[in-house]
């Protein structure tokens, strides 16, 4: 089997030999209950639901997209619907793991505040290699929230159950957002090396013929070249500099445009073309938005 598509949480529970979830649209389980992979393990898996994992795993290779990841440290990882996973055991060794996994079907969020805000958390788009590494104190905070969710999950369902569970999940996501912010800041040396790499990459691109042949660089291009997911790179740059990846691209573009306007006799149309714009109005509009001047007004200020 190449790809196994799990449309429901119950279907996945049955496949993994777990007990039936107490609610068809949400589940929470101890990963120690998943001892072995299936003999009919698919090459890849796709879920129709959100996943939140807090765990340590050894002797298990995980592939998310095109990247392998080691779960041996205490981490949190997040997956959105329709993302691709694959798992494989280390030959001759038993999987050793601990922690919790929460699965949430989008239908569970219907008519709640979280349905409107859940996609605003950028970490749903991070790769597993960009997982959140928790301190002992942070892990305890997340563990306590999970225990609160677990207690409500196992309680008798009433009209308050869903609201309370959603509230705990929102708290968990907000703490994860905070801890990611901390992770961006505390990895100071590595992150500032990334800043330098972004600067060098953009400088090289804007000084090459790629602008004419390929157009403006994209966030996806930057992320792929630097081996990050686009959302992770943008979030990291936003925390460190106040500007996301797209804004960094635009900043470099405006710097290059100013250079050409002030040091060459090229027409505005020629400059726009050399900067990867197919249409002059698009270039002029962006320049005006970023500088409060038209290209002609900027050039005129030098004479």
Mean pLDDT by 10 residues, the chain (303 residues): 86 90 92 70 85 72 45 74 69 62 95 93 84 88 95 86 94 96 79 86 86 86 90 90 92 92 91 88 92 91 73
The superfamily (CATH) of domain 3-186 is Regulatory protein AraC (2.60.120.280)
Residue 301: what pLDDT? 84
pLDDT at residue 97 in the model: 66
Domain boundaries, the chain: 3-186, 189-300
Indicate the pTM of the whole model.
0.75
CA distances from 29 to 105, 110, 268 (A): 15, 23, 61
- pLDDT at position 13 is 92
CATH 1.10.540.10 assigned to 189-300: no
* pLDDT at position 70: 43
DSSP per residue, 168-219: HHHHHHHHHHHHHHHHHHH-HHHHHHHHHHHHHHHHHHHTSTHHHHH-S--H
Which residues make Cβ contacts (< 8 Å) with residue 210, sequence separation at least 6? Answer: 217
- Closest alpha carbon to 27 in 38, 37, 13, 7: 13
Among 78, 79, 80, 11, CA closest to 42:
11
pLDDT of residue 104: 96
């Amino acid at each position: 089997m190449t790809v196994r598509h799990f449309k429901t949480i119950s279907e996945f529970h049955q496949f993994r030999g777990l007990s039936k979830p107490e609610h068809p649209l949400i589940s929470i389980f101890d990963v120690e209950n998943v001892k072995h992979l299936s003999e009919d393990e698919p090459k890849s898996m796709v879920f129709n639901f959100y996943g939140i994992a807090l765990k340590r795993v050894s002797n298990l290779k995980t592939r998310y997209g095109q990247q392998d990841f080691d779960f041996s440290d205490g981490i949190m990882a997040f997956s959105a619907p329709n993302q691709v996973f694959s798992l494989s055991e280390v030959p001759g060794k038993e999987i050793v793991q601990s922690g919790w996994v929460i699965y949430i079907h989008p239908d569970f969020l219907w008519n709640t505040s979280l349905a409107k805000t859940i996609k605003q958390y950028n970490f749903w788009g991070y790769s597993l290699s960009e997982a959140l590494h928790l301190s002992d104190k942070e892990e305890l905070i997340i563990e306590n929230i999970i225990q609160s969710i677990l207690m409500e999950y196992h309680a008798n369902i009433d009209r308050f159950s869903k609201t309370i569970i959603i509230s705990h999940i929102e708290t968990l996501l907000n703490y994860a957002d905070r801890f990611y912010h901390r992770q961006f800041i505390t990895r100071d040396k590595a992150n500032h090396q990334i800043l330098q790499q972004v600067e060098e990459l953009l400088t090289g691109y804007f000084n090459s013929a790629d602008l004419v042949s390929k157009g403006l660089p994209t966030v996806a291009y930057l992320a792929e070249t630097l081996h990050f997911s686009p959302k992770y790179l943008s979030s990291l740059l936003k925390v460190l500099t106040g500007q996301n990846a797209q804004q960094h691209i635009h900043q470099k573009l405006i710097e290059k445009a100013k250079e050409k306007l002030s040091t060459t006799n090229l027409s505005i149309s020629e400059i726009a073309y050399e900067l990867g714009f197919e249409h002059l109005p698009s270039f002029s509009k962006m320049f005006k938005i970023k500088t409060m001047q038209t290209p002609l007004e900027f050039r005129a200020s030098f004479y």
